[in-house]
Amino acid sequence: MSRVAILALEDGTVYRGEAFGAEAVRAGEVVFNTAITGYQEVFTDPSYTGQIVVLTYPHIGNYGINLSDSEAPRPYIEGLVVRAWTDVPSNWRAEMTAQQFLERSGTPVISGIDARALVRKLRSQGAMRGALSTAGHSAEELVKMARQTPPMAGLDLATRISTAEPYEWTQKLEPCSPSEHVGLQPRGEFRVVAYDFGIKRNILRCLASIGARVTVVPASTPAGDVLAMKPDGVFLSNGPGDPEPLQGPVGEIRKLIGRVPIFGICLGHQLLGLALGGRTFKLKFGHHGINHPVLNRRTERVEITVQNHGFCVDPDSLNAGEVELTHINLNDQTLEGLRHRSLPLFCVQYHPEAAAGPHDSRYLFEDFASLMKEFHH
């Protein structure tokens, strides 16, 4: 006998389907991801804290779970919405089923709804708050719960999920198969301090692969403590929530600018934008997928990129005399990257570590190595 799951949106729309994952109720912002692979990386991406994720690709669970593919120690999504959930993995690498993985972490799943209709709704009306229950709640209770969920704008989620203690990271990228070329070469030996706002493991592996010894530090670490470690460079990670409430970290980043080379990704890019005097705004439904085209204005090449963000830096809020806009999203013309014209810092809005996804943008890690070399010689 299959269990019933209900997803309710703040506007009163209700979807009924079959329950999988954990028996639980969760609320959050409902967003969609258009990737056709990499569901495990989506589950375990800390940037999805506070969000219920709708996957547009229909078959989810079909290659199981392999713990070495996780981007963090546990899933961070609040809940999952899929068209077809499969619990029979066909993959020699699978260590457990997706059902076992999400059940253990208390994550509810609704399957068997028209996910594409839901995506069209979110695309036209914007991301909405929702509540998902596999534990027998009524539709009325869930609509009420969705409306009581705090909106994503104004939420500081990054400092809540950051590491409590500093730790060292040394593991590098490894090819999945003998034929795969990892594509990152060591460029020397560097000491990098990485701020953890919700960092993904593959970013750390990419940093290690260019020759960095990485110390990961909590989001609230003072700039003075970072400089005392004498780093060759500072990395600002991805993470969830709204960048503007993170006034503490922005103030510390401001003290680091010009003192040490800085590279930021995703939320790290937004925080650098704020530290440089810019503003951020919320996108209508965000960018979540692995095939977003971005123009690199410096090379005139188009990169196919991996994205997961709901906020954006307003390019008009930056001083054009100081800041060069380096990357532009070709779908909606939003800002995807910038660098300072005279100080050693650059950042991108997308995910160059690309797990899962194309490796078009991995060169950015080597650019960071070059910047650290230049600065220290």
Would you please indicate which residues are annotated as catalytic (active-site) residues?
266, 351, 353
Q: Under DSSP, is residue 113 helix (H, G, I), strand (E, B) or coil?
A: coil
CA distance 23 to 212: 42
Supply the DSSP string of 127-165, one letter for each residue.
-EEEEEESS---HHHHHHHHHHSPPSTT---HHHHS-SS
Q: Where are the alpha helices (DSSP H) in the chain?
A: 39-43, 98-104, 115-125, 139-148, 158-161, 201-209, 223-228, 247-256, 267-275, 363-376
- The owner of tokens 């499969």 is 86
* Helices 201-209 + 363-376 axis angle, to 10: 50
Residues in the chain, total: 377
C-beta of residue 189 within 8 angstroms of C-beta of residue 213: yes
Supply the DSSP string of 298-367, one letter for each residue.
TTTEEEEEEEEEEEEE-GGGS-TTTEEEEEEETTT--EEEEEESSSSEEEESS-TT-SSS--TTTHHHHH
- The owner of tokens 């590098």 is 172
Q: Under DSSP, is residue 246 helix (H, G, I), strand (E, B) or coil?
A: coil
Alpha carbon of 371 to those of 186, 310, 346, 374: distances in Å? 14, 29, 9, 5
CA distance 80 to 109: 5
The count of C-alpha atoms lying within 13 angstroms of the C-alpha of 333, restricted to the half-sphere facing its C-beta, is 2
CA distance 366 to 143: 48
